[in-house]
Amino acid sequence: MSASLRPGPLRRLAGRVAKFHAVGLIGVGVQLGALVLFKSLAGLHYMAATALAVEVAVLHNFCWHERWTWVERTRRAPGLGLLLARLLRFNLTTGLVSIASNLVLMRVLVGTFHLHYLPANVLTIATTSLANFLLSELFVFRAQRN
């Protein structure tokens, strides 16, 4: 693509934000499905079920971000070692932020305010979205220096 036809930095950023949220919406379904599976079907306590469901969604989201949201950056940094490094950074940042915020907010919303665990979980997911995008953009899938 010629330089005049390439989208500018703000347009590329807006595209990544849109892709991030599209993946996130699918991830919400994955997380809620896993939560139902772990809580209602497996009979786990809502806190343990939440932690496991978040990790399932984190892994799902990483795969999509790797292959779609930040593909222009990951294509320039191929290889199993770099992939595993990004997965580790993703789990240590967005994964930990998601699990910690989900557990804290679920404890408050379900344990204190007695909300049903599914709507409570939707609220907790929404609270971490911006922080997770910034962590991914600036740290996990950061642009490689040439």
DSSP the chain: --TTTSPPHHHHHHHHHHHHHHHHHHHHHHHHHHHHIIIIIS---HHHHHHHHHHHHHHHHHHHIIIIITHHHHTTS-SHHHHHHHHHHHIIIIIHHHHHHHHHHHIIIIIIT---HHHHHHHHHHHHHHHHHHHIIIIITPPPP-
Segment 85-114, tens digit of pLDDT: 999 999 999 999 988 998 999 999 999 999
In a domain, 45, yes or no: yes
In a domain, 146, yes or no: no
In a domain, 55, yes or no: yes
Range in 3-12, 75-84, 108-117, 135-144 the model is least confident about: 3-12
* pLDDT value for 4: 56
In a domain, 75, yes or no: yes
Tell me the residue range of the domain where 75 lies. 9-140
In a domain, 3, yes or no: no
In a domain, 102, yes or no: yes
In a domain, 74, yes or no: yes
* pLDDT value for 5: 60
In a domain, 86, yes or no: yes
Total domains in the fold of the chain: 1
